[in-house]
Amino acid sequence: MPRRKKRKEIFALGNEAVVEGALLAGCSFYGGYPITPSSEIMEIMAARLPMTGDGVFMQMEDEIASMGAIVGASLAGRKVMTATSGPGFSLMQENLGYAIMAEAPLVLVNVMRGGPSTGLPTSPAQADVQQARWGTHGDHPIIVLSASDVQECLDMTITAFNMAEKYRTPVILLLDEVTAHTREKIEVPNEGEFEVFSRTVPSMPPEWYKPYEETVRGVPPMPPLGAGYRFHVTGLTHDRNGFPTQRPEEIVELLERIHRKIDQFFYDIQLVDEVQTTDADVVVIAYGSVARSAELAVHQARLNGVRAGLLKLKTLFPYPRRHTEKILGHARTLVVPEMNMGQMSREVKRVNMGRASVRTINRVDGQIVTPSEILKVIMQG
Amino acid sequence: MKPQELDRFEIRFSGLGGQGIITLGKIMGQGLALGHGYNVTQTQSYGPEARGGSSKCDLVISSGRISYPKAESLDLLVALSQEACNAYYPYLKPGGALVIETELVGQQPTNRFLGLPFTALARDKVGVAQAMNTVVLGALSFLLPFVQQAIMRKTLETVLPAKIRAVNVKAFNLGHRLAKKEWGDDAGEVWRVEEGFGDD
């Protein structure tokens, strides 16, 4: 067996780890507009991306244009990314919908801060969870991922790029200010130690190519613009050739396919980490930085003789239903701590359907939910 | 020397925006994580102002895995403004240490504290008031028994741009020397758990 090459260790911010992950995943275009607490992603991208050979960095005039730029670059065959925070995320919603309709792979990082509006620019929140799911108009599928520590920022960014490419869809990575502005020692994996997925390009001659043809996976192959394949892109509901249609059977075919291509691969997309859940009576369901508070609280509860466990959500949408249902076989109580008024607990309650009692812990004062707050609720059972 | 075993040693640096609090935490964190091999999380919070607002930076240092990244019960509080001292003193553990900037913290909440006039030292002895945070770093490298001065100084040199390196090394050495002189050799004894003495 070949000896594993030693990995490079760095002491980095969550935001820096996102950039490391993006570059490892092959990101070669970044268009964006800076906003606290995501600005370091853009700053470091500006320094690093042009050094990678064909990498292009563009500062755009606002977040609407940022999305436009990365959708365009994605259609031209690039792996693309942008990063923002709540107020900018709202501006990105329109073109996000366009990217879903045009099936343009891209990664959108939203480092959540307190809102609404300008809100609390330097304080953490998890207030954009439902905006990430339903922010853009129309009935759409979306993949939303999150990360709770700095190493995960790197790993989940790679995962986000892979899912975007594999399923030809925008992927949103939701971080919060705590995760993004925590520095930790992390390991940067060497080439070949992680999977890098790239979009399928058509293998047929250009005259046979139909841009939105039905395939087994529901993901049509995607040539870069300018490679000789005729490729019409529109936000209008389109037929297999990519041209607008109003025929009901073609509308249904398109909408069912873009949902199916994500729904049927739930086992690949829904990622969680479980800590001592197998025998747990009380299970904390948490994500982002709050999952770290929860981990300590669960540890302390076990020391106090309570069978507690943690289900850490790394995929927020599609909601990891089967993992939650497995836990509902034995758990009496689910505790859902969040830095919002209860956005993820809605999903938990929807899956729970009255089986266990669902306790929520909500903080909206710009502070992270602490381990002692979670422990208190766990101990109440 | 084998690093001392630590289980969640929590430090909070606090003061005013512009004092270099976060830079101080970042350099110390990097020295402990990459130089000494500990697990370290460094988190920060600050106001929207460029300078003048409040600023805070937490370090959690542990030999094992760190779950919760923020400090909850402090082993060491470094307060570089009166406001910060008032706000965070209640979070200090019994037996924890308080380090203050003696000119900026006039009202001490307790008589058990370690103080130096860091800003005046940086301004008068180093010639650059902005090097104040490095004087603090030097003093803490003396105070904390698990920190090796040489490793921390080397980290400082790698992190800083060449232009300001010499000034900061001077400030670092000054802090270390004065802490030893003013605070005494056994100032950090409370945290020492193993028999190995001396850094070199």
Q: Are A141 and A315 in contact (CB under 8 A)?
A: no
- Mean pLDDT, rounded, of chain A: 96
Q: How confident is the model at residue A1 (pLDDT cuts 50, 70, 90)?
A: low
Is A121 in the B-facing interface, judged by CB distances under 8 Å?
Answer: yes
Question: What pLDDT is stored for residue B72 in this prediction?
Answer: 87
- A11 inside 8 A of chain B by CB: yes
Q: A8-188 has which fold?
A: Rossmann fold (3.40.50)
- Nearest CB to B67: which of A10, A183, A296? A296
pTM of the model: 0.94
B198 has pLDDT over 60: no
The yes-or-no verdict on residue A343 having pLDDT over 70 is yes
Residue A297: closest C-alpha in chain B: B68
* Mean pLDDT of the A355-366 span: 96
Give the residue from A39, A177, A185, A369 with the most B CB atoms within 10 Å of its CB, the best one to mutate.
A185
The alpha carbon of residue B194 and the mean position of all alpha carbons in its chain are separated, in whole angstroms, by 22
* Beta pairing class for A183-188 and A8-13: antiparallel
Mean pLDDT confidence for B129-152:
95
* Angstrom distances, CA of residue B139 to CA of A251, B117, B120, B146: 70, 11, 14, 13
DSSP codes, B98-141: EEEETTT--S-S-S--EEE-HHHHIIIIIS-GGGHHHHHHHHHH
Shortest Cα–Cα distance, B127 to chain A (Å) = 30
- Chain A nearest CA to B117, separation (Å): 29
| Interface residue of B8, B10, B45 to substitute, partner A, most A CBs within 10 Å | B45
Give how far the C-alpha of residue A45 lies from the chain's centroid of Cα atoms, to the nearest Å.
19
Which domains, and CATH codes, for chain B? 9-186 (3.40.920.10)
Beta bridge partners of A151: none
Is B67 touching A (CB cutoff 8 A)? Answer: yes
CA distance B176 to B199: 13
d(CA A289, CA A338): 9
pLDDT at B194: 52
| Cross-chain CB nearest to B44 (options A36, A181, A370) | A181
A11 vs B34, B67, B70: nearest CB: B34
What distance in Å separates the CA atoms of residue A47 and residue A54, rounded to the nearest whole number?
A: 14
Task: Fold for A271-380, please state it.
Answer: Rossmann fold (3.40.50)
- Judged by phi (left if over 0) then psi (alpha if -120 to 50, else beta), residue B18 lies in left
Report pLDDT digits (tens) over A36-67: 999 999 999 999 999 998 999 999 999 999 99
B61 and A CB contact within 8 Å: no
What is the end-to-end Cα distance of chain B in Å, rounded? 9
Residue B193 — very low, low, confident or very high, per pLDDT cuts 50/70/90? low
Q: Is B30 on the interface with A (CB under 8 A)?
A: yes
Query: Which alpha helices (DSSP H) does A193-305 contain, by range?
Result: 248-263, 266-269, 290-303
Which pLDDT score is estimated for B195?
47
Domain range annotation of chain A? 8-188, 271-380
Other Cβ atoms within 10 Å of A360 Cβ, number: 18
pLDDT over 70 (residue B2): no
Closest CA–CA distance from residue B122 to any residue of chain A (Å) = 27
Same fold, A8-188 and A271-380: yes
Assigned token pair, A252: 């249904």
Question: Would you state the pLDDT for residue A221?
Answer: 95
Q: For A185-223, give one letter per residue: b (16+ CB within 10 A) or e.
A: bbebbeeeeeeebebbebeeeeeebbbbeeeeebbbbbb
Position B200 pLDDT exceeds 60: no
Residue B191 has pLDDT above 90, yes or no: no
On chain A, the residues whose CB falls within 8 A of the CB of B45 are 122-123
Residues of B in contact with A293 (CB under 8 A): 67-68
Quick check: B48 pLDDT over 80? no
Residue B193 near chain A (CB below 8 Å): no
Q: Which residues have C-beta within 8 Å of that of residue A166, sequence separation ≥ 6?
A: A197, A199, A219, A268
Question: For residue A274, with 0-12 CB atoms within 10 Å meaning exposed, 13-18 middle and 19 or more buried, which class applies?
Answer: middle
